[in-house]
Structure 1
Amino acid sequence: MDRPVEERIQRQRTYRRLWQIGLALIVVVAGIWGLRKMLGGKVDQDRLRVAVAETGPISNTLSAMGEVIPAYEQVVTSPIQADIREVLIEVGRQVEPGDPILLLDKSFFLLNFDKQKQELDLQENRIDKLRFALAKDQFDLEIKDSIKALEIYSLEAAVESAKRLKQIGGGTDEGVDEAVLRLKIARLEKKQLENDLLIRRQSTSTEVKELEIQANIQRNSIQEMEEKLKRAEVVASRPGVLTWANENIGSTVSEGETLARIADLGSYKVTGTLSDVYAERISPGQAVNIRLSEAETISGRITNIRPTVENNLISFDIQLDEPDHAALRPNMRVELFIITATKPQVIRVANGPAFKGRNEQALFVMRNGVAEKRMVRIGLANSDYVELENNIAAGETIVISDMSRYEHMDKVDVR
């Protein structure tokens, strides 16, 4: 039967094994550090990008994208529902005021226009007929009222006669009462006729006025249709270039639908988009640099910020200081740099991969073939320059390449 290993011997073996593992780890780490030290202590000069620190102004900017569009664009819409019969000018051609662009088939609209005019004639005829009918009714009531007045006059005379006959014994009380009753009835009937005549006069005026209002509405509708017919001649209202036209011959366009676009290609503006995260950092009047190419940048200012957010982007318009710049083209995509802060005189250096966006970081400064590490506080920055707030003087050469692999070293030999 095997004898159990003593606990003390087991513990010694465990300690020895742990010691061997720890020693191996130390050797490996030391080897890696030594190899990194041996390989990382030197760098080829051709692999480095350097820039000289200088004194000058700097601006902090937000990057955005923009599109160049004509400063003025006339949108020609269809004033009526019609069919496109012919396109008279090709897209891209210069147009002058009065030049016809499209030819519309207005036959259906003209039929409706004629129908409206005929309905207006019928409405005016109904008004005349109503006036005649109301005049006749009013005349009849006036005649009846006059007849009733004569009847009352006759009944008043009959009452007086009945009273005289009673006084001389030739009549009775019943005869007088009957004559008085007929007179009262006649007076009430005349009052009723007078009231009917007054109401008829008022209703006559109201009925005619109602029909006249309806006729005026129809008359205004016809005038509006006449104006639309005039505008149905699709022509340019100012000089420019035809940038788009609806060339679907035979298709039906609705009222208000776009038919053509005419742009003034001698003057431009820029529409920009920016993440809504930065919405509070831009405002109208803010200066913007517009990069047209690597060698060409122009300036402008934000004139309008749209209140809506689409796809987490806000949109804004930029008025250019040089709206007629020769490099501008319609629908051209450009880079925008919105200036949020500016300093007139600082130590600055060209931006590069060395800058990681931290407030303070290590930079390597060239001196006698050696790149020396310095901790530098970073200020304003944009796509072109970075402000160096301390530890760097104007005229010193800064390594702007990515030096992350050498950050553990104070100096690096440059061959």
Structure 2
Amino acid sequence: MQTNRLMDRELAPEITRQKRTKSIVIVTLGIVGVVAVLALLRTYLSTSVEASKIRTTVAQIGPVENTLNATGEVIPAFEQVIVSPIQASVQRVLLTPGTRVKPGQPIMELDKSLSLIELERLKDKLALKRNGIEQLRLRLNKEFYDADIKDKIKSLNINRLRANVEDTRRLLKAGGSTQEDVTKAENELRIAELEKKQLENDLTYSRQSMGASLKESELQAQIEAKNLQELEQKLRQADILADRPGVLTWVNDRIGAAVNTGDLLAKLADLGSFRIDGSCSDMYADQVKVGLPVIVKINETSLRGTITQVKPSVQNNVVQFAIQLDDNRHTSLRPNMKVEVFIVTTRVGKAVRVANGPAFKGKRRQYVYVLNKGVAERRDVEIGLTNFDWVEIRSGIQPGEQVIITDLSQYENSETLTITPTDR
């Protein structure tokens, strides 16, 4: 009896533990089951959305262009920058910014006194140079004449010495002279011939050298004359006139201010036509190329254009480019206006497309809802090209179907949504 009682005491704790474990397992399974049922109910049961909270669009066939976002500024297609052609000072300003000008109309006057003094100095310098050339030419002519006379004298002397040699040889045969006399006469003739050859060589060198000096002086005179002509041209340009019709957009109105050659004096723009200076993130640098079409958005107006220039350098992580508009005289264009620019990188001519909206997150595959008789059905669709207006649907939606473009991602676990009429 005592042994059985001891065994009962030992088994009682073990049985208690087994019962407790069994209870925990049953409770856990129950909780998991309830959660699973709720999840299934949430997935498969319909959810209601008011019709006033959604926007829809009808899928259609049409072109879709893939675009990159950029910004731009409207500037005049033609803007003439007028700079000072000379070193001067602002003497008088005749027109103010905003004034319309005609060709030949004066804009401002410059004080040209310093340049006029420089002009007189260049004239004097050129006159001295030309006088020096004339003196050099006279000296050359005299030296050539003197050298020619010396050469003729040498020729006469050689003829005399040659005759003397012949006479001495005849006398030697007759016994009237010695061999030494003949040798002496021959040496005198040879020396005279060498001296004549040296004189002719010196004459040739002198002609070439002096001719080069004369040519150099003439070239220097030509340079001086060209400098003089350039300054005269600059002085004529210093009469600051408009050379075409337009609007004066800026002028240096600081009377008495000194200006150097090349300093900005005024800006003249043609406000009848415009272009766009665009910019975008350098992450698109490899895609932005000359010749790509662009779309410029001005409020509700879209204008087409083409990239005509891409600046090679990147500044502050921004790529800059120029756009030529197809219609550069559109009435919506205003100077310095900020606009949205969309660079078209690729295009599909015939695609199933829907209007862009918050429902599209930029993913290649995603869920969207298609509305059919008051019920929105979830579809798994493949997205193609996108832009600010359209989204290409490569699969999952057919033309004519009504697609909800409102963001319904909070209901993405629901296969269907009931669209309820809005209470009035």
Give 3-state SS (helix, strand or coil) of 2:407's partner: coil
Aligned pair partner of 2:236 in 227, 230, 233: 230
Aligned to 2:195: 189
Map 1:93-104 → 2, pairs under 5 A = 93-104=99-110
- Deviation string, structure 1 residues 195-224 (Cα, Å, up to 9, x no partner): 333332333322212211221122222222
Deviation of the 1:13 alpha carbon: 11
Aligned to 2:3: none
Using the size of structure 1 for normalisation, the TM-score is: 0.81
Deviation of the 1:307 alpha carbon: 4.3
Distance 2:289 2:129 in 1: 58
Aligned length: 407
Aligned pair partner of 1:124 in 130, 133, 154: 130
Map 1:136-285 → 2, pairs under 5 A = 136-155=142-161, 174-175=180-181, 177-279=183-285, 281=287, 283-285=289-291
Map 1:343-358 → 2, pairs under 5 A = 343-344=348-349, 346-358=351-363
Aligned to 1:51: 56
Distance 2:272 2:356 in 1: 35
Deviation of the 1:94 alpha carbon: 1.0
Distance 2:156 2:395 in 1: 120
Is 1:331 the counterpart of 2:331 in the alignment?
no
Would you say the 8 A contact 1:159–1:179 is kept in 2?
yes
Paired amino acid for 1:322: D
Distance 2:409 2:276 in 1: 39
Is 1:371 the counterpart of 2:376 in the alignment?
yes
Distance 2:30 2:211 in 1: 117
Distance 1:388 1:134 in 2: 92
Would you say the 8 A contact 1:95–1:241 is kept in 2?
yes
Aligned to 1:91: 97
Would you say the 8 A contact 2:56–2:406 is kept in 1?
no
Paired amino acid for 1:204: M
- Deviation string, structure 1 residues 310-331 (Cα, Å, up to 9, x no partner): 4444333333232111110112
- Deviation string, structure 1 residues 70-100 (Cα, Å, up to 9, x no partner): 2222222332333333332211211111122
Using the size of structure 2 for normalisation, the TM-score is: 0.79
Give 3-state SS (helix, strand or coil) of 1:355's partner: coil
Give 3-state SS (helix, strand or coil) of 2:272's partner: coil
Aligned to 1:316: 321
Return closer, same or farther for 1:147/1:68 CA change in 2, 3 Å cut-off: same
Paired amino acid for 1:55: Q
Deviation of the 1:246 alpha carbon: 3.2
Give 3-state SS (helix, strand or coil) of 1:205's partner: helix
Would you say the 8 A contact 1:64–1:336 is kept in 2?
yes
Deviation of the 1:265 alpha carbon: 1.0
- Deviation string, structure 1 residues 357-392 (Cα, Å, up to 9, x no partner): 223322233445443333333333221232344554
Give 3-state SS (helix, strand or coil) of 2:271's partner: coil
Would you say the 8 A contact 2:154–2:196 is kept in 1?
yes
Map 1:26-105 → 2, pairs under 5 A = 41-46=47-52, 48-62=53-67, 63-105=69-111
Give 3-state SS (helix, strand or coil) of 1:141's partner: helix
Give 3-state SS (helix, strand or coil) of 2:221's partner: helix
Aligned to 2:140: 134
Distance 2:374 2:115 in 1: 86
Give 3-state SS (helix, strand or coil) of 2:131's partner: helix
- Deviation string, structure 1 residues 248-270 (Cα, Å, up to 9, x no partner): 44444333343322221111222
Return closer, same or farther for 1:227/1:175 CA change in 2, 3 Å cut-off: same
Distance 2:399 2:192 in 1: 121
Would you say the 8 A contact 2:75–2:277 is kept in 1?
yes
Query: Percent sequence identity over matched residues?
Result: 44
Aligned to 1:3: none
Aligned pair partner of 1:407 in 382, 390, 412: 412
Return closer, same or farther for 1:221/1:34 CA change in 2, 3 Å cut-off: same
Would you say the 8 A contact 1:53–1:396 is kept in 2?
yes
Would you say the 8 A contact 2:246–2:271 is kept in 1?
yes
Paired amino acid for 1:234: I
Gapped runs of 5+ residues in structure 1? 1-5
- Deviation string, structure 1 residues 125-145 (Cα, Å, up to 9, x no partner): 222222222333333333333
Distance 1:256 1:7 in 2: 105
Is 1:110 the counterpart of 2:86 in the alignment?
no
